[in-house]
A = this chain, B = another copy of it.
């Protein structure tokens, strides 16, 4: 059952440390299977893809054609119910606007000694977007992955998605049309990631692969990191809600459940300074959970991983939040800025009483692909930078080389790299 802690209890430090330490990630040992699949796709290409797709998805594409025509995506989009279509368009527009402002600036300057220095940002040539089949096939997720790539200037956007028994998700196809995906392939699993990284006769390789997936997909991305760029390893979602007693307990209960309904191993944590409010939220969770279509998932998550922490003062919350480094942090107080200023580690922060986390999942604009499992200590949400890279440059002059060349020669000689030193000496006429 859900854990309840009090920060003033003697065992709190130990119990809290255990929550911080606990990884909810499956350690399913899929590494070896994935390695086999990757090698197989690398060596046998399309033939291996066909075999794995028949085996795992029970599907053999007609005429051996693995591509879903872009025409089908456009038709799916046109067939959307108008309200949903408008919602997707509004989401796409707001996500695009937020990410356009992320585009980095090039640098180009000449310093005091006359050395020209700088850096240029360029998009990668091709990006692969993985879209899971089944439960986790979310059109919102497609927009959040595809739009930053497009904004970055990626010219080729390739979507891979499993179509078990041949079935496709029309919402996902519609989102692919809206986001401007260039190719859609009916391939899933580790074999799809291998095809994106190494390429096959029919599928050209890409440079960066993003998007959520099951344990096989995640492990394939991890193993191919370095052959291609990948987004951060993703684990189950989590939310930390910091709330005082002036909130409506029902609102806070539903916010906690909006995380729990994602996944039986999602985690929802409430920090409050009011024990009676904590009780009200816990009760309201019991009421609300019963009404959810995903009640079973939400209950499994809340019972196994839900935590309520009662603190003496919300001033204690930032230190706890930094230790948890949660994916989502809601600060539902009158003046959330005070606590936010002390939070160093979080994927995304939702400020105030009328900013439920769900607004960020769909439509606010910032990316909903965020670091999980305490990775906000060192990583960031998906951005245009994940689809770009920087080339630094240096342009010397005789005068600039004369100014700093001798120091470089001294260092090269100290490191025993004589040709390095000599390449400068020759130009200085030494």
Contacts and interface: CB of A to CB of B under 8 A. Distances in A.
A352 B404 contact: no
A376 B389 contact: yes
Contact of A229 (B125, B336, B378): B378
A398 interface: yes
Contact of A394 (B351, B370, B394): B351
A411 B84 contact: yes
Given A116-B351, A362-B412, A378 B124 contact: yes
B343 A397 contact: no
Given A139-B414, A226-B232, A410-B84, A257 B419 contact: yes
Interface string A317-354: 00000000000000000001000100111111111111
A221 B414 CA distance: 29
A305 to B, nearest CB: 16
A207 B377 contact: yes
Contact of A84 (B288, B343, B414): B414
Interface stretch (A10-18, A57-65, A181-189, A421-429): A421-429
A165 interface: no
Most B CB within 10 A of own CB, among A138, A229, A377, A385: A377
Interface string A364-376: 1111001100011
Interface string A393-426: 1111110010011111011101111111111101
A277 interface: no
A411 B298 contact: no
A111 interface: yes
B408 A358 contact: yes
A414 B427 CA distance: 67
A285 to B, nearest CB: 10
A396 B426 contact: no
A424 B356 contact: yes
A173 interface: no
B407 A124 contact: no
Interface stretch (A71-79, A246-254, A306-314): A246-254
Given A87-B410, A378-B389, A352 B423 contact: no
B419 A292 contact: yes
A113 to B, nearest CB: 9
Given A375-B226, A389-B380, A393-B350, A364 B84 contact: no
Contact of A419 (B260, B378, B398): B260
A391 B348 contact: yes
15 contacts: A88-B411, A97-B111, A115-B364, A207-B377, A207-B378, A261-B417, A288-B422, A345-B389, A347-B392, A355-B395, A358-B408, A359-B405, A360-B394, A367-B392, A385-B385
